């Protein structure tokens, strides 16, 4: 049980690193995953996303809270406990983030994480359906499709945005992110395309790569200031697995800091409360937790105008049969086929609000997801100011960590959400919506004042499932990892997942995590970095 590299977590980053590090036949790699197989029709069919989210067998079952600024509410946090990690259960939305996100990382001292340095790795990981150019890749493992967006309510969303004075950007993952757009997705030939499919499955034929599933990692074994392996729990037994070179944590923004703390790496005061012997002081482990908090805005429309008209009992049977036979039709869609990155105020350089549009209205009734005629916006803060933390509940590895995002601790965040609701109402008030616009269901037209909208937000604020920042990368002494993702306080440990983001990106996190994994794989293998790109990008005037 000795390997050169031991990777913890077979998610968006772990599958990529397992593939890249095992390309050398002389290097042995072990990939350890707490969950099981990613095989199954529901996991592969994009339209089955709501059922995947409700499947408790393939998730960690975490909840954040009690949230102090949301009247003590707790919020469900979807995290994949399965081969492929969250890339096997997420909404498949492909958004890289804004180029300014990465340039901000560089300005904070991480000079080789600028957009020019990151763009070649975005291009390396993808095959974009519209073809390669200066911004897009054409021969990478991850297939990226452009949504068809041919339902009339998608068109109304785009036309209403134009009438409100916003531009439609032809490729929000290219030169310009800001504006309205037709969405792009991790969907290939009608199937969900996770990193398990794109990277791990082709690599499994290599004899030097082993995948150990349904095995929980209890801790990293640290001796004389260096990681020498991991302790795992598998089928009731505990055993040690040795790493000759490195242990690489790819367990996500909740589990990676939890494992560091369980291993004795963290804030000495917090560790002592749980009787954990200190191995290395790293006070920021678990801190700097960020997310994209948001709310759903919902409207009614006529039955025949909503996508619900195609989801009757007969429609669902047709959808399933067509997808099984051809991998086409509604079954091949995640339904999030249009969106927008917009600014609610002029004093920010970046779009501070993200919108994802659905041509139906959904809510939970008696624990089940119900769709009714209508349309809705999921609207979230792309750059919130509030910060939270991940801490230990106990020294037991089987106990979930304590997760508190501290949403709305910043008054600016609350004001931006209030302004975002008013912006969404402006979009829907345009003439492009006149044929379809029905009653505003949530928050409802009776909610007009700031106080009304604040009550609605606090009662309904949810999560985009984008935790990050808990093992922050930086050049300062307090940062948990350096620019090569190496844990500063302990030798031979790296962290490669969203937890190392020094600041959350403007958009969904999967694409940026994959880029980071590709980039750090070259660092681990001591390969020359890809040459920086000279492609320009849109900067806010």
Measured CA to CA, the distance from residue 171 to residue 412 in angstroms comes to: 30
Angle at 245 between CA 239 and CA 246, to 5 degrees: 70
Tokens standing for 33? 């995953």
Q: How far, in whole angstroms, is CA 169 from its chain's centroid?
A: 22
> Which phi-psi region, left, alpha or beta, contains residue 531 (left: φ > 0; alpha: ψ -120 to 50)?
beta
Task: Give the end-to-end CA distance of the chain in Å, rounded to a whole number.
Answer: 57
Q: Which residues contact 111 (CB under 8 A, 6 or more apart)?
A: none
Per DSSP, the three-state class of 160 is: helix
Measured CA to CA, the distance from residue 301 to residue 308 in angstroms comes to: 10
92, HSE (Cβ side, Cα atoms, 13 Å): 34
Q: Which residues contact 200 (CB under 8 A, 6 or more apart)?
A: 10, 15, 18, 19, 31, 83, 84, 211
Burial of 32 (0-12, 13-18, 19+ CB in 10 A): buried
Tokens standing for 71? 């009247």
Which long-range contacts does 238-241 make (Cβ < 8 Å, 24+ apart)?
A: 239/1, 240/1, 241/1, 241/2, 241/3, 241/6, 241/30, 241/32
Tokens standing for 75? 């919020």
Which of 521, 530, 514, 471 lies closest to 246, judged by CA? 521
The catalytic position among 143, 188, 292, 466 is 466
Measured CA to CA, the distance from residue 193 to residue 477 in angstroms comes to: 39
Burial of 245 (0-12, 13-18, 19+ CB in 10 A): middle
- Tokens 């293998």, located at residue: 525
Helices (H), 196-355: 201-203, 252-262, 268-273, 313-326
Measured CA to CA, the distance from residue 405 to residue 5 in angstroms comes to: 32
- Tokens 């985009």, located at residue: 464
Per DSSP, the three-state class of 508 is: coil
Strands 142-146 and 126-128: parallel
Say whether 466 is catalytic: yes
Measured CA to CA, the distance from residue 497 to residue 259 in angstroms comes to: 13
Angle at 425 between CA 420 and CA 428, to 5 degrees: 130
Strands 184-185 and 191-192: unpaired
Helices (H), 190-251: 195, 201-203
Catalytic residues: 466
């Amino acid at each position: 049980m000795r390997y050169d590299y031991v990777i913890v977590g077979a998610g968006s980053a772990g599958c990529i690193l397992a593939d890249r590090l095992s390309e050398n036949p002389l290097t042995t790699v072990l990939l350890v995953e707490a969950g099981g197989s990613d095989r199954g029709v529901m996991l592969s069919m994009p339209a089955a996303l709501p059922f995947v989210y409700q499947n408790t067998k393939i998730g960690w079952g975490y909840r954040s809270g009690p949230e102090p600024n949301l009247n003590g509410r707790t919020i469900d946090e979807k995290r994949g406990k399965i081969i492929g990690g969250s890339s096997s259960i997420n909404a498949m939305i492909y958004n890289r983030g804004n180029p300014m996100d990465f340039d901000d990382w560089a300005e904070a001292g991480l000079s080789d994480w600028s957009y020019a340095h990151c763009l070649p790795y975005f291009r390396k990981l993808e095959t974009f359906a519209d073809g390669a150019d200066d911004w897009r890749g054409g021969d990478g493992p991850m297939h990226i499709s452009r949504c068809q967006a041919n339902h009339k309510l998608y068109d109304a969303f785009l036309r209403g945005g134009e009438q409100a004075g916003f531009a439609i950007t032809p490729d929000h993952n290219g030169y310009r992110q800001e504006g309205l757009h037709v969405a792009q997705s991790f969907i290939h030939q009608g199937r969900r395309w996770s990193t398990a499919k794109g990277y791990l499955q082709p690599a499994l034929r290599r004899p030097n790569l082993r995948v150990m599933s349904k095995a929980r990692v209890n801790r990293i074994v640290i001796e004389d200031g260096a990681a020498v392996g991991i302790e795992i729990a598998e089928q009731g037994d505990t055993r040690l697995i040795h790493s000759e070179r490195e242990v690489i944590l790819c367990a996500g923004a909740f589990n990676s800091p939890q494992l560091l703390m369980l291993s004795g790496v963290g804030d000495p005061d917090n560790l002592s409360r749980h009787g954990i012997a200190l191995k290395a002081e790293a006070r920021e482990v678990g801190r700097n937790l960020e997310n994209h908090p948001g709310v759903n805005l919902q409207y009614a429309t006529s039955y025949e105008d909503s996508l619900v008209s195609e989801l009757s009992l007969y429609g669902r049977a047709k959808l399933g049969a067509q997808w099984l036979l051809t991998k086409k039709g509604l079954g091949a869609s995640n339904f999030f086929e249009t969106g927008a990155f917009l600014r609610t105020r002029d004093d920010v350089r970046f779009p501070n609000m993200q919108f994802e549009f659905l041509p139906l209205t959904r809510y939970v009734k008696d624990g089940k997801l119900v769709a009714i005629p209508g349309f809705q916006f999921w609207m979230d803060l792309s750059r919130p100011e509030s910060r939270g933390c991940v801490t230990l509940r106990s020294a037991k590895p089987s106990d979930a960590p304590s997760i508190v995002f501290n949403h709305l601790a910043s008054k600016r965040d609350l004001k931006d959400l209030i302004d975002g609701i008013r912006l969404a109402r402006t979009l829907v008030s345009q003439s492009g919506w006149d044929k379809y616009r029905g009653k505003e269901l949530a928050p409802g037209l009776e909610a007009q004042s700031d106080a009304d909208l604040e009550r609605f937000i606090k009662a309904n604020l949810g999560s985009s499932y984008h935790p990050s920042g808990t093992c922050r990368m930086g050049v300062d002494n307090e940062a948990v990892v350096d620019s090569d993702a190496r844990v500063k306080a302990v030798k031979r440990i790296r962290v490669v997942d969203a937890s190392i983001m020094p600041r959350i990106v403007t958009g969904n996190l999967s694409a940026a995590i994959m880029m980071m994994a590709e980039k750090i794989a070259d660092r681990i293998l001591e390969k020359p970095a890809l040459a920086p790109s000279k492609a320009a990008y849109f900067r806010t005037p």
